[in-house]
């Protein structure tokens, strides 16, 4: 049979006519539904049943009906009419968020070697905010005021960091909206972000390791924050044993989330990579490659097996309590290597579970039953039965399943419906597979794989909504791809990464790629939390900082032997002092409160040629100290376009010269 152009057109027309009819039908029904809200209970129940047959809830239906573009409605449509799926969770693949509407989720993406965190709204993928962490950042003044500058200096004084794994604090296994913790792989640091203010408020500098890679809380209640030492180095790394890699060591570090003090470390074999926590307050897990303890690529990949290390945290705490450690750089280090005497006891501090090969990601299923380690150089994911770990004689027997998912599996996320999603770096795909089937199938079987979707290109992490908690919502999946290649307009030799949004809420219809998002290098991992899990403040509470609040009329200048302490405030459209006079060489501290009570009215104090940039959100107080070593007139101005009189918002800093200037005025 030969298709003519006309018959094809006719077919296309017919299809679109049917689609249009379907859209209209849905719109009508959603209209009926909104009407029925005011109608009698029975009517509304009828409608609900009718809709439920389609596998959707009313709310989602409304959304599909409201979608602006036909294309969007169609996407929603296919999902809706497909039926099936989890009725509680089902939502349309409607990723359009109209102007003025809010997203359903916050997504916290690490910024890689930009050293920051990006906050996106999902499903729109709009970037909502950036949170500077390990480096100075001028828009928010991070590292420019005394407090944040000292925080960065005390944590090593590095100018940048390499953030990978943003992990939210949890209470009872669910995100509690309190903190976010993130590693620095470039330097041994772990930072804490306060989610009331979306601001980095503490950075721990970790001794005895070179950098921190994987990070996790010890869940369900985030009693500790744990960080993986990846690079093996001599301990202490003071110049000894340079040529003796056998004496290089890797440690697992525990930090108190409240004080951010380093509590203890565990010495391990191999080097640690990624980390996740069990759900019941016992084990945490780290992938551990380079069991060979090699120093080059060949050496690190020689063996077929590396490990997942299970850390028995209460057992380690007992060892610390009992004094079973060595102190190096003020940190108690418990020996958790395979041959350690602590591992000879009935209850070892660490269990080394052999898995193939140079495994990368490890993540625990939402029900807490399994830890899944992605094989990286093996096309498999090893499914570890967590309960079996201390029951089996040989740790390898704790492996309950090992599906063959595809080439280069890196990270696995969950939808809460018993399905897992693993990124395939080499195949440029995400594989969806069934966890229980993987346990039932023979090791190495491809049968548990349900489907695969192409992503563009080479995904590192994927992350599903709330997958890191006990309550995944199962609708959205982010694939954080390392390469965008041809996906965007060219921007010179540096290409953006490509973060792709995939709808996973409809198991019948399968995974649907709905959005490409270019991103600046380079998000490694993400945590996606429903907006109800967070409660950010929109202005500062002065009780949340130590500095005095300087209100209108309380400006003050104190001078004491070459030190000038200035207290003032900022409000549209002025500073509390219209000019400030100091002497050349004075050490000046400028302590400023933004006394605005209106949200979104930020101010800053910029002093040109002094590199001063004090950024102040409403009701925030910060101070900055500098030496007035250039005489002259300096216009202090507000860097935020705060009002119609923003340009007029400025005061003078007058620095009187030590010596009278010479020569006549040129004008």
Partner 1 sequence: MALLSGVLMIVSLAFPVWRIILTAPQYAGRKLYVRLYAYPRITGDVREVSGLNKYVGFHFPDPVYLEPNYEVAETAYALPEWSIGPMFFVVLAIGAFAISLSSDATIARRLKLYFAGVIAAFVGLLAWAQVRLYQVGHNLDESAPMAGVEGFTPPVLGGYQIANISGNAWLDVGGYLLAVAVILLGTGVVFRDSEATIRELPEELPRVFKKGRDRIVNRIATRST
Contact positions vs partner 1 (CB under 8 A): 552, 571-572, 595, 597-599, 644-645, 648
Nearest CB to partner 1, comparing residues 54 and 595: 595
Give me the least distance between CB of 574 and partner 1, in Å please: 10
Helix (H) and strand (E) counts in the chain: 8, 41
Give me the least distance between CB of 597 and partner 1, in Å please: 6
**Angle CA(154)–CA(156)–CA(159) in degrees, nearest 5?**
110
Give me the least distance between CB of 572 and partner 1, in Å please: 6
Q: Write the DSSP string, 261-292.
A: -EEEEEEESSEEEEEEE-SSSSEEEEEEE-TT
C-beta of residue 387 within 8 angstroms of C-beta of residue 369: yes
Query: What is the rounded CA–CA span in Å between residue 555 and residue 566?
Result: 8
C-beta of residue 179 within 8 angstroms of C-beta of residue 257: yes
The residues, ordered by sequence, that sit 6+ positions from 176 with a Cβ below 8 Å of its Cβ are 168, 169, 170, 222, 533
C-beta of residue 32 within 8 angstroms of C-beta of residue 46: no
Query: What is the rounded CA–CA span in Å between residue 530 and residue 122?
Result: 9
Give me the least distance between CB of 138 and partner 1, in Å please: 25
Nearest CB to partner 1, comparing residues 597 and 630: 597
Give me the least distance between CB of 419 and partner 1, in Å please: 40
* Number of other residues whose CB lies within 10 A of the CB of residue 491: 10
Give me the least distance between CB of 569 and partner 1, in Å please: 11
Query: What is the rounded CA–CA span in Å between residue 5 and residue 13?
Result: 12
Helix axes of 58-66 and 70-82: crossing angle, nearest 10 degrees: 150
Nearest CB to partner 1, comparing residues 194 and 573: 573
Nearest CB to partner 1, comparing residues 487 and 572: 572
Nearest CB to partner 1, comparing residues 489 and 644: 644
Nearest CB to partner 1, comparing residues 29 and 577: 577
C-beta of residue 508 within 8 angstroms of C-beta of residue 118: no
Give me the least distance between CB of 605 and partner 1, in Å please: 19
Nearest CB to partner 1, comparing residues 339 and 553: 553
Nearest CB to partner 1, comparing residues 440 and 600: 600
> Which segments of 449-578 are extended strands (E)?
449-454, 459-464, 476-481, 497-503, 512-519, 526-530, 556-560, 563-571, 574-575
Query: What is the rounded CA–CA span in Å between residue 287 and residue 270?
Result: 10
C-beta of residue 546 within 8 angstroms of C-beta of residue 540: no
Give me the least distance between CB of 529 and partner 1, in Å please: 23
Nearest CB to partner 1, comparing residues 46 and 538: 538
Give me the least distance between CB of 37 and partner 1, in Å please: 25
């Amino acid at each position: 049979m030969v298709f003519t152009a006309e018959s094809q057109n006719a077919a296309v027309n017919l299809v679109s006519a049917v689609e249009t009819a379907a859209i209209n039908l849905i719109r009508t029904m959603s209209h009926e539904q909104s009407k029925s809200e005011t109608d009698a209970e029975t009517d509304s129940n009828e409608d609900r049943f009718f809709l439920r047959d389609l596998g959707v809830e009313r709310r989602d239906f409304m959304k599909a009906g409201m979608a602006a573009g036909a294309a969007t409605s169609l996407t929603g449509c296919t999902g809706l009419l497909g039926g099936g799926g989890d009725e509680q969770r089902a939502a349309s693949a409607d990723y359009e968020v109209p102007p003025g509407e809010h997203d359903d989720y916050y997504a916290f993406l690490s910024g890689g070697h930009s050293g920051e965190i990006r906050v996106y709204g999902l499903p729109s993928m709009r970037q909502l905010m950036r949170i500077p962490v390990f480096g100075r950042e001028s828009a928010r003044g991070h590292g420019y005021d005394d407090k944040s500058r000292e925080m960065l200096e005390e944590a090593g004084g590095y100018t940048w960091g390499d953030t990978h794994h943003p992990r939210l604090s949890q209470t009872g296994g669910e995100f509690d909206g309190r903190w976010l913790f993130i590693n620095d792989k470039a330097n041994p640091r772990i930072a804490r972000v306060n989610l009331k203010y979306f601001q980095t408020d503490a950075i721990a500098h970790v001794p005895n390791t070179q950098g921190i890679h994987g990070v996790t809380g010890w869940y369900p209640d985030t009693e500790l924050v744990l960080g993986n030492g990846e690079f093996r180095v001599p301990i202490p790394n003071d110049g000894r044993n340079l040529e003796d890699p056998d004496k290089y060591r890797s440690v697992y570090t525990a930090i108190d989330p409240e004080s951010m003090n380093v509590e203890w470390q565990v010495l391990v074999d191999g080097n640690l990579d990624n980390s996740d926590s069990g759900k019941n307050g016992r084990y945490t897990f780290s992938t551990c490659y380079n069991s060979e303890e090699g120093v080059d690529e060949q050496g690190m990949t020689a063996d077929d097996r590396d490990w997942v290390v299970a850390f028995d945290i209460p057992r380690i705490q007992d060892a610390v309590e009992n004094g079973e450690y060595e102190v190096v750089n003020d940190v108690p280090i418990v020996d958790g290597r395979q041959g350690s005497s602590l591992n000879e006891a009935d209850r070892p501090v660490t269990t080394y579970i052999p898995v193939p090969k140079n495994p990368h990601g490890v993540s625990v299923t939402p029900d807490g039953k399994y830890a899944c380690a992605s094989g990286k150089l093996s096309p498999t994911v090893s499914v570890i039965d967590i309960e079996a770990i201390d029951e089996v004689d040989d740790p390898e027997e704790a492996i309950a399943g090992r599906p063959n998912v595809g080439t280069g599996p890196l990270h696995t996320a969950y939808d809460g419906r018993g399905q897992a999603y693993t990124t395939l770096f080499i195949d440029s795909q995400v594989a969806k597979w069934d966890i229980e089937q993987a346990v039932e199938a023979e090791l190495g079987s491809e049968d548990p794989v349900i489907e695969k979707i192409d992503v563009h290109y080479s995904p590192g992490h994927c992350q599903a909504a709330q997958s890191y908690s006990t309550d995944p919502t199962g609708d959205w999946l982010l694939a954080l791809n390392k390469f965008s290649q041809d996906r965007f307009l060219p921007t010179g030799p540096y290409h953006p990464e490509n973060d792709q949004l995939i709808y996973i809420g409809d198991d019948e219809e399968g995974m649907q790629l709905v959005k490409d998002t270019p991103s600046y290098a380079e998000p490694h991992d993400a945590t996606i939390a429903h907006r109800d899990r967070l409660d950010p403040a929109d202005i500062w509470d002065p009780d949340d900082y130590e500095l005095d609040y300087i209100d209108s009329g309380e400006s003050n200048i104190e001078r004491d032997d070459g030190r000038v302490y200035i207290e003032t405030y900022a409000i549209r459209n002025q500073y509390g002092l219209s000019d400030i006079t100091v002497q050349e060489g004075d050490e000046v501290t400028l302590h400023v409160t933004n006394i605005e009570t209106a949200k979104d009215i930020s101010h800053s104090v910029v002093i040109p040629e002094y590199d001063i940039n004090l950024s102040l959100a409403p009701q925030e107080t910060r101070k900055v100290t500098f030496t007035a070593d250039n005489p002259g007139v300096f216009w202090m101005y507000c860097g935020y376009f705060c009002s119609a009189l923003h340009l007029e918002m400025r005061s003078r800093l007058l620095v009187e010269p030590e010596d009278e200037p010479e020569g006549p005025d040129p004008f």
